[in-house]
Chain A
Amino acid sequence: MTTPIISVTDLRKRYGEIEAVRGISFTVAEGEVFGLLGPNGAGKTTTVEILEGLRNADSGTASVAGIDVARDPTGVKRRIGVQLQASAFPEHYTTKEVVELFGIFYDRTVDALALLRQVDLADRASQRQEKLSGGQRQRLSIAVALVNEPRVIFLDEPTTGLDPQARRNLWALVQSIRDRGITVLLTTHYLDEAEVLCDRVAIIDEGRIVALAPPRTLIADLLGRGFTKPVLQQQANLEDVFLDLTGHELRED
């Protein structure tokens, strides 16, 4: 097996009385889409922010792209792309200028239009960033995450708050990023999203990993333990109905 691109060993982080992360360990192989699943407050974001070099762990080690995060956070930041939860871009810039601005932060010249084209935002290049819809903003943040041609990108709840069309669109975008050989680590609390996108998932609860395997394996294990759903298995669900009626095209402006 090749060396993992992300490796985390016994990570712990405490905020005052609350122990947010209680000894998490996992590895992610290069090219994989890896999901961290869990309810709100499970410790997903804290774990991801430690890997991104934004927070210090109390103990344990984490390395990304062969670099120890605690020792060289800037080196890690240089090699990864990130999309943060609850963050925003500076105001009074156009979409294209936001991409260029982050080019400055990585100290490189970027082809902003080409990046916007990759996330299907080229037609919004000269529009103010503040005026973008939720889905467009998430796509912009992915374009920004790709500014430094990263080997790994971290997406923290990328589809929270988006309508079904925008979610599907973002899934396609994540798959196209994976197809380019970029490793993706995403957090989500939507299980269908994990099932569609992730090669492997780690389910986190109360700061600990309670399961780690490919989604199919986890489901097969559960069924193997004699689990049955009390309702009849349907061939479609309400979301399928919704998308059938309203179409797959993005609804923006």
Chain B
Amino acid sequence: MRQVVRYTAMLLRAYVRDRSAVFFSLLLPLMFMLIFGALNLGAFGHVTMGIVDEARNADSRRFVDQLAGIGELTVREGALDDEKARLSRSERDMVVAIPADFRLAPPQPGASVPTLLVYANDGRAQQVAVGGAILQQLIAETSFAVTRTSPVVQLTQEQVSAVRLRYVDFLVPGILGMNVMQLAIFSVAFALVADKQRGVLRRIMATPFRPIRFLTSQVLLRLVLSVIQILILLGVALLVFKVQVVGSVLDLLVLTTLGSIAFLTVGFTLAGWAETVNQVPPVANLITLPQFFLSGVFFPTDVVPPLLKPISEHAPLTYLNDAVREVSTQGATLWDVRGDVLGLAVWSIVGFLLAVRFFKFQTS
């Protein structure tokens, strides 16, 4: 045990001195999070609405200002042709044309009321529905105010979950899961294959140091690194993006550690199979890249085509991301996500058997 602790400490010392390792395990994930967080990719329920105000009177101004004051909307104004062009480039989810005769006054009997014309982006049906509902509600409120009546039915809306899910709240758990996977697979595979290729492992095996202790230290190092990495990423997410972590941070660490173990077995299998460092990236990417898109890192798994659903559902990163996301955004406990934990455990066992089968200390 003392030997394992001393060796792990030495490994950690070498790791922090290795600039490229620090870059890949810490700076790159931070960049990923900052870029995707800032891009606000996905932007659930957020609607970009173009307004073409042909009335340009006090009433139309008031109406537009009210729309602009609604949090879910980003309002842009422009000429009709321009806005329609932007709509076709998906820069707008919908465009609302306010007619020249727009005014907010009680309707005169027999006269028609002004009509808002909405151009909708077919590709963004969800956003169009949200924007349409907001418009309907604003029209209703305005009508009641103008006609000085009260609505006959009142609607109170209650949030389904206690916390409103912003994209970044969704994104951060995915980024955590992705980095657990990257660190476990790439850092083990690269470091051990390089050491194997250079004859470092042979030199160590010429000492009485027991292989099991060597491997235990290598695993321990990665688990320690993974915890440090997760804490730093979470810290930045909390400070920069004000991400709300509803569940327990300790549970998150337990889950990411389980995830690390599952992916470490993959890393060791790869390190055992590969004879040179050049063989590592193609296979490692083949394993990790599809999971970026199938396992709900950047967007929910609902968008995965049916054909790929079975892979998506059982991929190790999906189990990890689901569990981390449930804990982080919904406040789930470890018991609540036991299905995902079981999934990770099964992958760990499969990976462990593969690693035992493939891992060798020297090139033949």
Contact = CB atoms under 8 A, between A and B. Distances in A.
B215 to A, nearest CB: 14
B202 interface: yes
B195 A90 contact: yes
A104 B6 contact: yes
A97 interface: yes
A245 to B, nearest CB: 36
A239 interface: no
Contacts of A53: 206
Contact of B206 (A82, A91, A101): A82
B289 interface: no
A106 B208 contact: yes
Given A92-B17, A101-B10, A105-B209, A84 B3 contact: no
Contacts of B200: 87-90
Contacts of B203: 84, 87-89
Interface string B202-214: 1111111110000
Contacts of B2: 107
A105 B14 contact: no
Contacts of A92: 13-15, 17-18
Residue with the highest number of chain A CB atoms closer than 10 Å, among B10, B205, B208: B208
A84 B6 CA distance: 24
Interface in A46-73: 52-54
Contacts of B7: 101, 104-105
A233 B3 CA distance: 58
A77 interface: yes
A131 interface: no
Interface residues of B, number: 24
Nearest to B10: A101
Interface in B65-80: none
B34 to A, nearest CB: 28
A86 interface: yes
Contact of A77 (B15, B18, B208): B208
B198 interface: yes
Contacts of A88: 198-200, 203
A104 B3 contact: yes
B204 A105 contact: yes
Interface string B4-44: 00110010011101100000000000000000000000000
B207 A84 contact: no
Contacts of A78: 208
Given A104-B6, A104-B10, A107-B3, A87 B208 contact: no
Interface in B182-224: 195, 198-200, 202-210
B206 A52 contact: yes
A115 B203 CA distance: 19
Contacts of A176: none
Pick from A74, A75, A86, A87 the residue with the most CB of B within 10 Å.
A87
A171 interface: no
B206 A77 contact: yes
Contacts of A89: 200, 203
Contacts of A34: none
A74 B208 contact: yes
Contacts of A101: 7, 10
Contact of A54 (B13, B17, B202, B210): B202
B202 A105 contact: no
B260 to A, nearest CB: 22
Given A74-B208, A77-B208, A87 B199 contact: yes
A108 B200 CA distance: 20
A88 B18 CA distance: 17
A102 B199 CA distance: 15
A163 B54 CA distance: 88
B207 A77 contact: yes
A102 B7 CA distance: 10
B363 to A, nearest CB: 10
Interface string A1-27: 000000000000000000000000000
Given A74-B208, A88-B200, 12 more contacts: A54-B206, A75-B208, A77-B206, A84-B199, A87-B202, A89-B200, A90-B200, A91-B14, A92-B14, A97-B10, A100-B10, A106-B209
10 closest A-B pairs by CB = A87-B199, A105-B209, A92-B14, A105-B207, A87-B203, A88-B198, A92-B17, A77-B208, A78-B208, A104-B6
Interface of B: 2-3, 6-7, 10, 13-15, 17-18, 195, 198-200, 202-210, 362
Interface of A: 52-54, 74-75, 77-78, 82, 84, 86-93, 97, 100-102, 104-107, 148
